[in-house]
Amino acid sequence: MREKKLPCDALIYLGTDFTPSGWNTHNGEFTWNAANFPDPKRAIEELHALHYRVVLHIVIEGRHLTGTAKDACNGAEPSGRTPDNRWPDERSVGCYWPYHKPLFDLSIDGWWPDQGDGLDAPSRLNRIRMYWEGSQVWRAGDRPFALHRNGAPGMQRYGAFLWSGDVQSTWKTLETHVPVAINTGLSGIPFWGTDIGGFIPTAEFTGELFVRWFQFGAFCPLFRSHGRHWHLHLPWGWNDGDGGPPETPVFKADPSELHNTASVHLFDRARDDGDRSADDSRALDPLSRRSPGGRARRRVPVGPRYPRGAGHREGRDGPAGLSSRRHVVRLLDRGSPERRPRNRAHDRSRDDAALRARRRAGADGTRQAVQRRARPGTSDAARVSRRGRHVRSL
């Protein structure tokens, strides 16, 4: 990826059992798989030298997880299964969290706490809280990263990310994920993403579906490609002749660069979202009477809210105002997957008229004008506008 100049912040290593040979000996264990990582410290240092963060996948099962990371451990508890191959129903955070310490000492940067669907609601919150508070004990001042499989409103207070789960690689799934992204943010969970391309491959998993999903992912707070047939989840994986057509649609603009450009804004928003429970996948016009049919649920505004750019702010608690650089993205308006994207001439006069109307109305951050209504029957994955003027089509 570095040779191809593709932006990438982190590499995630899956645990053994979900893959034939992962980073650890078995799911739930914190011991390195020596066959893959004979020298974990050196491997992590080499990845850090290439400016990658290293994230590890870890699994827990059971019914109850109690306490906090600062509690003392009053007994011996396994990190994974017991000798009779069972997951303990009862665990304490005070005994479970210390298993992470040797990996912290190797400079692991983040965690993917998977599974845990059997945990009750308080235990799920304890797990989310553990990765925030426990990380702060050993790395005070750092922003911990943890990608969780499950959670609830309020998890953003612990900087927790959520993804949509092991979804199928279909056009319908991609279409459905646009309102899911918006509604998840409106529900108070702003840090959200998907398995780009879908996790479970189907006959619809083609190069075009991957490209369109890749474009959608650029506008999600979490931009992450993951799934079975892993080589097809690499940006260059479709041109090797395996698992699909040898040709792949070409990006007119690299969505990963677009996401990378917005990263300063996303970091800024992440702090605000934790403080104020705002959402990074925001819905357009949620209170507008002009959208009684819910058209706004398929449109996502992204970009800096600060008038002088993403790197500037007047003060964390001051009014941000309406950005002059707000982007508006339109995504998959019930398009037909069989129909190729249409190339239409852009009607700039309509955008200019909408912009003038917006200025007269004095639109604010809650109620905003949409320059063009998405037309049914198109499969355009994303169209970006800035200040009412066309910038690019992806």
Any idea what the CATH number is for the domain that residue 14 is in?
3.20.20.80
Q: In the prediction, which pLDDT does 246 show?
A: 54
In 67-212, where do the E strands start and end? 90-92, 110-115, 145-148, 160-163, 192-193
Domain hosting residue 254, numbered range: 10-267
CA 177-305-309 angle, 5° bins: 120
Does residue 308 form part of some domain?
A: no
Cα 129 from Cα 159, distance rounded (Å): 9
CB within 8 A of 386, min separation 6: which ones? 303, 325, 326, 327
Tell me whether residue 316 is in a domain.
no
Q: What is the mean pLDDT of residues 5-27?
A: 91
Residue 246 CA, distance from chain mean position: 28
Asked, for residue 98, whether it belongs to a domain, the answer is: yes
Radius of gyration for the alpha carbons in the chain, expressed in angstroms and rounded:
22
Is 299 a residue whose pLDDT tops 90? Answer: no
3-class SS of residue 347: coil
Using an 8 Å Cβ cutoff, are 381 and 216 in contact?
Answer: yes
Select the highest-mean-pLDDT range: 1-10, 166-175, 235-244, 255-264: 166-175
**Is residue 199 in some structural domain?**
yes
326 Rama class: left (phi>0) / alpha (psi -120 to 50) / beta? beta
Please count the other Cβ atoms lying within 10 Å of the Cβ belonging to residue 107.
Answer: 14
Q: Which residue has the tokens 């308006």?
A: 333
Please tell me the predicted confidence (pLDDT) of residue 264: 52
In this predicted model, what pLDDT tens digit does every residue of 209-247 receive, in sequence order?
Answer: 988 998 899 888 899 999 998 888 887 777 655 555 555
The Cα–Cα gap between 150 and 290 comes to 35
**Within a domain: residue 18?**
yes
Q: Record the pTM.
A: 0.69
Cα 254 from Cα 234, distance rounded (Å):
14
Confidence check: pLDDT of 161 > 50:
yes
Domains of the chain: total: 1
Confidence of residue 371 (pLDDT cuts 50, 70, 90): very low
| 138 touches 69 (CB < 8 A) | no
Three-state DSSP class for 115?
A: strand
**What is the per-residue pLDDT for 309?**
38
Residue recorded with tokens 């009607």:
347
Q: Measured on CA atoms in the order 185, 188, 190, 191, is the torsion positive or negative?
A: negative
Tell me, yes or no, whether 144 lies in a domain: yes
φ/ψ of residue 291, rounded to 5? -120, 55
pLDDT of residue 162: 95
Q: pLDDT value at position 360?
A: 60
| 304 in any annotated domain | no
The token duo for 235 is: 């940006």
Quote the DSSP letter at residue 67. Answer: S
Q: What is the mean pLDDT of the chain?
A: 73
Residue 277 has pLDDT above 80, yes or no: no
Question: Which pLDDT does position 359 carry in this prediction?
Answer: 56
Asked whether residue 255 is domain-assigned, the answer is: yes
Task: Tell which wins on pLDDT, 295 or 123.
Answer: 123
Share of the chain above pLDDT 90, in %: 44
Q: Which residue has the higher pLDDT, 14 or 6?
A: 14
CB distance 13 to 23 below 8 Å: yes
